Amino acid sequence: MECPKCGTDIPEGKLYCPSCGYAVQIVPDYDADLEDNLDSASSDIAGTVNRIDVSDSTTAEYDIDATTREIPMVKKDEASGIKRKNEQNRERTDQITTVIMAGLLLIVLIVVAVVASKSLSGVSFIPEQAVENAVTANMSGKNNKAADEEMTEEAPAGNMDETVSEDSTEQAPLHNWQLVATPASGSYTGPQRLTVTVSDNAAPESAEFKGIIYYTEDGSDPDEKSKVYRGDNEMWLPLGKSKYAFRFMDENGNMSDPVYLDYDMGSSGVCTAADAANYCIVNLIQAGVLADVYGHVIGSLGTFTYEPVRMVNSGNGSFYVINEYYTDPGGTPKATGNVYAIDADNLGFYRAKQGSNGNFVFETFF
């Protein structure tokens, strides 16, 4: 057998060409005697079936010509030719499809170029700025048109100044709270009492309003959980550096902006704050309260310490207010609640108490 593709002899029984690898389609040879024997056998079977007598049943007759079909034989050379023809048809179809798609793409590009050239006609530009100038001009026209339509639809009839004035009045804040603290932030010596007032600049002078002033002593923003400033209390600024922040909230929950204050308080009088603490210890030793200058007491392993916290005015004198703290061995200082005072001018020693109105009351210590 010869390979239909390259002509090489293919050994009997092989399905592929040993030279080019082509798959051989083997069609059996036509045998006339075998066909006659098959026709004779089919006739005998059909005759036998027609002679069968089935009672009470319909006799089925078979058409030998209808059941026996001739299968057309295809030679090997014709099969190879049909396969090559199919492959050629597929290649031709692919080429035609490619040409059609390329033509459509070319038409689209030509249309886009024509439209773009008409849109940009009359515009002078350098090639690199073509797209930028076209987009800018187009967007500018749209924005101007949209602005004109918006002005036409929204602008009310009447005087434009009157309209602006009415809008401004409606958008004005309902409140303009102002907090004023005295003294202002800064460095001071001697007693300084801190007071805070609040006003509403957006309301008439005769208007009355209610609210709460919150404050913090570390400079953080006050809120509803912070301390409440009470105007009848006397807030004496502490010695050294301190930070305050105040904020007002009216009865409707409207909050003002925080006001931040920084202070640096120094001592005044004939003695310093450190001297006042030492005078306090000496007086307590003389009174038998302390055993020594280290703050020991008989029957206790802990120690007492004394810290001047602020200066206050009372009558015509200035006083250092001194808090007492107790510390267990290895522990931390805890306030005992005892408060003492030293007169900054004559070094008098007093027991101090602060009343409900914030004023300090000084009693001579015996």
pLDDT at 101: 87
What average pLDDT does the chain have? 76
Q: pLDDT: is 148 or 85 the higher one?
A: 85
Pick the CATH number of 177-266 from 3.60.40.10, 3.30.420.40, 3.30.450.20, 2.60.40.10: 2.60.40.10
Please check the confidence at residue 303 and state whether its pLDDT lies above 50: yes
297-to-12, 255, 281, 300 alpha-carbon distances in Å: 127, 51, 12, 6
pLDDT of residue 40: 66
pLDDT value for 254? 87
Quick one: DSSP state of residue 310?
A: E
Torsion of CA 139, 144, 149, 153, to 10 degrees: 120
Which tens digits make up the pLDDT trace of 134-182? Answer: 445 555 555 555 545 554 445 444 444 444 444 444 444 556 788 889 9
Could you read off the pLDDT of 243-270 as tens digits, one per residue? Answer: 999 999 988 888 889 999 999 999 988 9
Give the pLDDT score at 42. 59
| pLDDT score of 76 more than 60 | no
Q: 235 or 131, which is more confident?
A: 235
Is 55 a residue whose pLDDT tops 50?
Answer: no
Domain boundaries, the chain: 32-73, 177-266, 273-364
Q: Is the pTM of this model over 0.85?
A: no
| 88-122: pLDDT as tens digits | 788 888 888 888 888 888 888 888 777 766 655 54
Q: What is the pLDDT of residue 221?
A: 94
Asked if residues 308 and 278 have their Cβ atoms less than 8 Å apart, the reply is no
Q: What is the mean pLDDT of residues 349-359?
A: 84
Q: Give the DSSP letter string of 320-343.
A: EEEEEEEE-TTS--EEEEEEEEEE
Question: 252 or 291: which carries more pLDDT confidence?
Answer: 291
CA 362 – CA 350 distance, rounded (Å): 6
**Residue 77: enclosing H or E segment and its boundaries?**
helix 76-119
